[in-house]
């Protein structure tokens, strides 16, 4: 496994960057298989994810025909409490059960059936009329004519859905539940304000155990700005500026919410770490697309997806400035896009951009986040010359860069 750099890149530039290899997108794939008499600890059946668990009894203390000898005394005293179990309390003061009750009605299970099998994942309701956000890899089967349905939390009935827009390069998609109305919706939080150590909760259709009864896990933000290469065995995609979390994320969680302590969506669960090149298994490492990135893509997704065209290219790997970064490295400003890498032979290198520069303005556009740089470049053409204003330590530096052509 190639590990991402401590300060990793952003979707503005993807070429020639180290990335973390991820064994699989967390979406259970259930192919149609012939009948078999073979047994195992885990068995998946066609058109459904069911787990068969075999319990193994270990006999300890001899090979006699009984487990233990009783004393013959029939008197048994058991202490019992009438107190109700208490929910885990988040830093906001909200308990996890209360958070789940508030948010889970806005979470749906997604099922896409194709001639080759079945893919399952999770989605979040964005609009009361049935608009649902999920990962592109969850619903990619719909592009090939697959049948797509969703099941709302607390329901056992599946509802038909259609594809609205898909952006495979950013692994984001929108679908719509047919003839839906008055549905509860999620609320986006401020992913740009996250700090390592913040509490998070993940909700999703883990392992496709039972549609409509999502799994809930808790953890923290383990790292920010990660770069990973995710794969489902047939295709792969490099994703940047991701949130890393130790909240358990499993196949089926893809497209589900990563929530802050107030129950707001600060990310969409997308990938889990698999094994390293030496065979070592990764533990408790999952990744989510920040909500700020998702919000910047929604307008194009509503039109059916992004227009596939090359655009202006600066040639930097960047991440959004955070209070933690400012404090750790003593940066002069509390906003902007921090340059983690300047790629060789690019416009940024020729212009004199340096690692640890903080981009705060390009032409007349103020830059407060890494997404601002991506959005600016998406509207520019190769050959255009732009003015890039950066903070280098405490000095404000103005540079001129002639943009190259994006590798995407």
Q: Other CB atoms closer than 10 Å to residue 333's CB: what's the count?
A: 15
Residue 98: helix, strand or coil by DSSP?
Answer: helix
Strands (E), 85-171: 107-114, 117-125, 131-134, 147-152, 158-167
Distance CA(317)–CA(359), nearest Å, equals 11
Nearest-CA neighbor of 337 among 371, 312, 363, 291? 371
Distance CA(176)–CA(265), nearest Å, equals 19
Instruction: Give me the residues paired with residue 119 across strands.
Output: 29, 112
| Residue of 13, 111, 167, 171 marked active site | 171
| Residue of 7, 10, 137, 311 marked active site | 137
Is 81 catalytic? The answer is no
Is 16 catalytic? The answer is no
Residue 223 CB contacts under 8 Å (≥ 6 apart), including other chains:
196, 243, 244
Phi, psi of 145 (to 5 degrees): 90, 10
CA dihedral 380, 382, 383, 388 (to 10 degrees): 50
Distance CA(181)–CA(53), nearest Å, equals 40
| Residue of 254, 292, 296, 406 marked active site | 254
Nearest-CA neighbor of 20 among 217, 235, 242, 340? 242
Nearest-CA neighbor of 212 among 153, 133, 285? 153
Residue 238 CB contacts under 8 Å (≥ 6 apart), including other chains:
14, 17, 19, 227, 228, 229, 230
Nearest-CA neighbor of 120 among 54, 27, 6? 27
Task: Please compute Rg for the chain using Cα positions.
Answer: 24
Instruction: Give me the residues paired with residue 112 across strands.
Output: 119, 148
Cite the active site residues: 137, 171, 254
């Amino acid at each position: 496994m190639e590990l991402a750099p401590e300060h990793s890149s952003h979707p503005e530039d993807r070429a020639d960057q180290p990335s973390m290899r991820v064994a699989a997108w967390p979406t259970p794939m259930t192919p149609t298989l012939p009948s078999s008499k073979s047994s195992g600890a885990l068995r998946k059946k066609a058109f459904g994810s069911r787990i068969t668990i075999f319990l193994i009894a270990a006999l300890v203390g001899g090979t006699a025909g009984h487990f233990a000898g009783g004393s013959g005394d029939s008197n048994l005293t058991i202490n019992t409490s009438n107190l109700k179990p208490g929910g885990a309390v988040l830093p906001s003061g909200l308990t996890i059960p209360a958070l789940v009750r508030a948010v889970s009605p806005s979470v749906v299970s997604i099922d896409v059936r194709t001639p080759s099998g079945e893919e399952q994942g999770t989605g979040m309701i964005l609009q009361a009329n049935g608009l649902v956000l999920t990962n592109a890899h969850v619903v990619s089967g719909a592009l090939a004519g697959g049948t797509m349905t969703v099941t709302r939390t607390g329901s056992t009935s599946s509802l038909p859905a259609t594809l609205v827009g898909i952006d495979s390069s950013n692994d984001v998609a929108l679908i719509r539940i047919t003839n839906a109305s008055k549905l509860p919706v999620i609320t986006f939080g401020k992913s740009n304000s996250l700090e390592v150590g913040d509490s998070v909760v993940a909700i999703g259709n883990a392992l496709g155990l039972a549609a409509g009864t999502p799994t809930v896990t808790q953890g923290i933000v383990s790292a920010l700005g990660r770069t990973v290469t995710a794969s489902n065995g047939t295709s792969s995609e490099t994703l940047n500026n991701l949130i890393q979390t130790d909240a358990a994320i499993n196949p089926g969680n893809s497209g589900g919410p990563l929530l802050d302590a107030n129950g707001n969506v600060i990310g969409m669960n997308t990938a889990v770490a698999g094994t390293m090149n030496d065979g070592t298994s990764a533990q408790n490492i999952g990744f989510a697309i920040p909500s700020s990135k998702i919000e910047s893509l929604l307008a194009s997704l509503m039109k059916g997806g992004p227009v596939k065209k090359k655009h202006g290219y600066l040639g930097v790997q960047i991440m959004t400035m955070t209070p933690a970064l400012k404090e750790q490295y003593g940066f002069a400003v509390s906003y902007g896009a921090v340059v983690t890498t300047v790629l060789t032979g690019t416009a940024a290198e020729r212009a004199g951009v340096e690692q640890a520069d903080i981009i705060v303005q390009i032409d007349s556009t103020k830059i407060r986040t890494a997404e601002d740089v991506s959005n600016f470049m998406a509207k520019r053409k190769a050959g255009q010359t732009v003015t890039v204003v950066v903070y280098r330590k405490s000095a404000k530096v103005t540079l001129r860069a002639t943009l190259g052509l994006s590798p995407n």
